[in-house]
Every structure is written in C-alpha cells, then in structure tokens.
C-alpha cells in the first residue's frame, strides 16, 4: 500500500475529491512473496470495505485495486456482494500469467452484478487485450474498458511514446473520476 504507484494514484484521486483506503493483504504485511489463499484475500477485501464504510458513512463506495488486489476484490464481489459498494475499478486486471494467455481468471466476472471499470495498458503482459476486450464486451453495458496506450502492467510508458508516467497517472485518475461520477 506504500508503493509509489499506489501513493501517486491515491494523491491523483484525492486531487479529484475521491478518497482512497489503501491496505495490504496479510502476505504483504509479513513480507512473503507467496499470496495468501483466496478465502483469506476475500476476507481482507471485506474487512477493508467495512473499514471504509465506518470511516466514510454514507459515501458512495467503489472497490477494486491494482492487479492481484483488483482480482481478489472481483472474486469477493462475485461470491457475495460487498456491502454498499457501487462499482469495481481494476487498475491492470491480471487476466493471465505473463506469456501464458488464458481467460480462466475472468470466469467469475459474469457473477459480478455491479458496474466494472477496467484500466488496461496496451503493453500489459498480464492481460492480452485480444482476450480481455471480448470478455468485457460480453459482460455488457455494466463493464467499461479504457485502454491506456503504450502502458505496461505497471503503467509505465516508453519515452518514445511521447508521454510520461505522470501523464498516464493523470489519465488513470481522470478516467476513474469520470466513471465514478456516472454511478
């Protein structure tokens, strides 16, 4: 939760009057590289949503996360709706491991019954867009995908793209803010 990307995104959202609640999964807290079992991750997501509800009662909630955090949030929502959450925002949904294209990690998304926003870099090795785009389309009007041109899974862009990471961060935050305003 203290990673520079997460802090920068939280700051960019704050500039648009969107508060954030960042948290770590237990494996991150303990310094392990091996992710916790899904059930523990889902419980962690639920605890974070409950904490957000306590800290900001009556405020519209959007849950989600970067990569693994977003996927665990969507799985938790698919299993049992997160209380008072109006939408899910995924910053780099990890559709598959690098160089192993598949769609299995998306099968649960059809069980999510609230709006979803997918922010995906066009150079993301964990989400082949030729696989992800049809999934998002099949989910219907409740799912929106924003392609971030030239960005990788960490939303870094090459210097030759003519853009920099700061501009990409602003694009991410503005897209989330605009999408959230419509919920």
pLDDT in tens, 109-168: 999 999 999 999 999 999 999 999 999 999 999 999 999 999 999 999 999 999 999 999
pLDDT in tens, 4-48: 999 999 999 999 999 999 999 999 999 999 999 999 999 999 999
Tell me what pLDDT residue 103 has: 98
pLDDT in tens, 39-66: 999 999 999 999 999 999 999 999 999 9
Report how many domains make up the chain. 1
When pLDDT is averaged across residues 83-107 and rounded to a whole number, the result is 97
Tell me what pLDDT residue 167 has: 97
Give the CATH number for residue 63.
3.40.50.1820
Report yes or no on whether pTM surpasses 0.85: yes
What residues does 134 pair with on adjacent strands? none
Q: Is the pLDDT of residue 70 over 90?
A: yes
Q: Is the pLDDT of residue 1 over 90?
A: no
| Nearby residues of 102 by Cβ (< 8 Å), 6 or more positions away | 95, 96, 131
Task: Give the range of the structural domain holding residue 147, as residue numbers without chain letter.
Answer: 4-181
């Amino acid at each position: 939760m203290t990673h520079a990307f997460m802090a920068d995104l939280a700051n960019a959202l704050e500039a648009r009057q969107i508060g954030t609640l960042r948290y770590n999964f237990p494996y991150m807290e303990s310094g392990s590289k091996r992710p916790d079992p899904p059930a523990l991750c889902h419980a962690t997501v639920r605890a974070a949503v409950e904490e957000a509800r306590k800290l900001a009662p009556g405020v519209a909630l959007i849950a989600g996360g970067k990569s693994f955090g977003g996927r665990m949030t969507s799985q938790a929502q698919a299993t049992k709706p997160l209380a008072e959450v109006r939408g899910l925002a995924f910053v780099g949904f990890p559709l598959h491991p690098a160089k192993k294209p598949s769609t299995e990690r998306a099968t649960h998304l059809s069980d999510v019954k609230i709006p979803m926003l997918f922010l995906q870099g066009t150079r993301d090795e964990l989400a082949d867009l030729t696989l992800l785009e049809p999934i998002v389309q099949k989910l219907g009007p409740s799912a929106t995908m924003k392609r971030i041109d030239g960005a990788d899974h960490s939303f870094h862009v090459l210097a030759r793209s003519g853009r920099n990471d700061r501009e990409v961060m602003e694009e991410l935050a503005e897209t989330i803010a605009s999408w959230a305003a419509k919920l």
